[in-house]
Amino acid sequence: MLSKKTKYGIKALTCIARQEKGTMLQIASIAEQENISHKFLESILLTLRKSGVLGAKKGKGGGYYLLKQAEEVKMTDVIRTLEGPIAMVPCVSLNFYEKCDDCPDENACAVHKLMIQVRDNTLDVLRNTTLADLV
Amino acid sequence: MLSKKTKYGIKALTCIARQEKGTMLQIASIAEQENISHKFLESILLTLRKSGVLGAKKGKGGGYYLLKQAEEVKMTDVIRTLEGPIAMVPCVSLNFYEKCDDCPDENACAVHKLMIQVRDNTLDVLRNTTLADLV
DNA sequence: ATTAATCCTAGTAACCCGATAGGGTAAATG
DNA sequence: CATTTACCCTATCGGGTTACTAGGATTAAT
């Protein structure tokens, strides 16, 4: 299940991407448009800024803006930043790999085999979808 | 993330499927083979029995056995039984649909659009993988 | 100086997951 | 028929995560 954090994050990004280039969008404005708790959204945008997708300007007239072209913001990156692993099981995760404590042999594991396929198909979608495709 | 419940369930099913037809496999035996807590596995197999995939025989010499051909046990069914929805967001779930409380218009929602694609790709894999493919 | 905005740390209530406890029930065996 | 074996079922609990909140610090325009 996708967390609300990720869901809100993607929605916020599309809001910002729809903005004319060079203009700012404020937390309050996004929160109202998308029915998101202001404070919660604040923490989400902070994470996105730290990850390098968003820039922010403080003070009066400040707000958030995209640092990259919308075409360059891949969904894989956004989801990994906000949600964590894309794989359904740590032992098939590319970026967050972890061995299972049960399972002496990964290659013999039915779940492993199955989840690699699921992961590859999901990655295929997420890698080829950018923010530009969503606005 | 796949819950351990589902993970263990799939592993247990493959154990049972590997068995010669007509023979029983006991909880204790599966638990030991796959390093799963005996009691936890018990509750998982119970769920699978109630869903109609497994049959059980009580008493001495009892155990679990497949009620269907391994080729007929689709991963979609198993996962829906143990994990619940396959979709990453309730608003794109076929079997567990739920409207989002934010989101006035689903068709205008970026997350919705994206997650439908992910769902379709995942379903494609899970529908075309049966227990027989995993043993 | 004041106001408006982001930045940042901490905390918390509610929920879910994995596991356990403890007995109940059915069936085979001697 | 008693005993043992193995599944059936409910309840509970600790720990972790999620979604959200509080409260102020910092920065920048007016």
Q: Does residue B85 contact residue B119 with C-beta atoms inside 8 Å?
A: no
Q: Which CATH fold topology does B4-66 show?
A: Arc Repressor Mutant, subunit A (1.10.10)
- What is the pLDDT at residue B22? 78
Which nucleotide has its C1' atom closest to residue B58's CA?
A: D7
Torsion region of A21: left, alpha or beta (phi above 0 gives left; psi -120 to 50 gives alpha): beta
Q: Does residue B88 contact residue B98 with C-beta atoms inside 8 Å?
A: no
User: Is the CB of A45 less than 7 A from some atom of nucleic acid strand C?
Assistant: yes
- What is the pLDDT at residue A22? 81
How would residue A54 be classed by pLDDT, with cut points 50, 70 and 90? Answer: very high
By the 10 Å C-beta count (0-12 exposed, 13-18 middle, 19+ buried), B38 is classed as exposed
- What is the pLDDT at residue B18? 92
User: Is the CB of B60 less than 7 A from some atom of nucleic acid strand C?
Assistant: yes
* pLDDT at residue B21 tops 90: no
Segment B20-24 mean pLDDT = 84
- What is the pLDDT at residue B20? 82
pLDDT digits (tens, 9 = 90+) for A30-49: 999 999 999 999 999 999 99
- What is the pLDDT at residue A93? 96
* pLDDT at residue A20 tops 90: no
Provide CATH 1.10.10.10 ranges for chain A.
Answer: 4-66
Q: Please enumerate in sequence order all residues whose Cβ is within 8 A of that of B95, keeping only pairs 6 or more positions apart, or say none.
A: B80, B85, B86
Nearest to A80 by CA among A133, A134, A123, A31: A123
3-state secondary structure A71-112: HHCEHHHHHHHHCCCCCCCHHHCCCCCCCCCCCCCHHHCHHH
**Cβ–Cβ contact A112 with B under 8 A:** no
The one-letter code for the residue type at B27 is I
CA distance B63 to chain A (A): 22
pLDDT digits (tens, 9 = 90+) for B50-97: 999 999 999 988 999 999 999 999 999 999 999 999 999 999 999 999
**Cβ–Cβ contact A124 with B under 8 A:** yes
Residues of chain A by 3-state class (helix, strand, coil), percent to 5 = 55, 10, 35
- What is the pLDDT at residue A21? 82
